Amino acid sequence: MSRRVLTVDDDPDITIFVKTVLEENGYTPLVARNGETGLSMARDESPDLIILDVLMPKQSGIRMYRELKTDESLKNIPVIILSGIAKRTFLRSQEALTEFGDQPIPEPNVYIEKPVEPLELAETVKDLIG
């Protein structure tokens, strides 16, 4: 059975692009439009990898990532952050949340600032889940 990759992004152009790259490389794509649905799909579907945007309605990728990494059943799923938000901002925001009393969490496996080339995305996915 092919490996399943959950893409969480509110931009339909991006989800179509990622879905196409994943299918062409033999993976099964799953799609969620915001962090809230993404988290619920991650719990229901237990994907092999999550590709996560940051700036989204309902729940941002920053909060969703934190929830993933503090959930025993989800914390080992590798995560690629694919976003227009700078990596430095992502890391600083996690530091700020830690300062407010949340627990420290590890950095994402890979951070890619949009836009991404199809080949770069395909190779990154392959490196993480084969």
Q: Which listed range, 14-22, 41-49, 51-59, 121-129, lies at the site for another protein (CB under 8 A)?
A: 51-59
Spatial CB neighbours of 10, under 8 Å, sequence gap ≥ 6? 33, 34, 53, 56, 57
In the list 42, 69, 79, 93, the residue contacting another protein (rule: CB under 8 A) is 93
In the list 97, 105, 122, 128, the residue contacting another protein (rule: CB under 8 A) is 97
Q: Does 86 bind another protein (CB under 8 A)?
A: yes
Spatial CB neighbours of 14, under 8 Å, sequence gap ≥ 6? 7, 53, 82, 114
Q: Does 96 bind another protein (CB under 8 A)?
A: yes
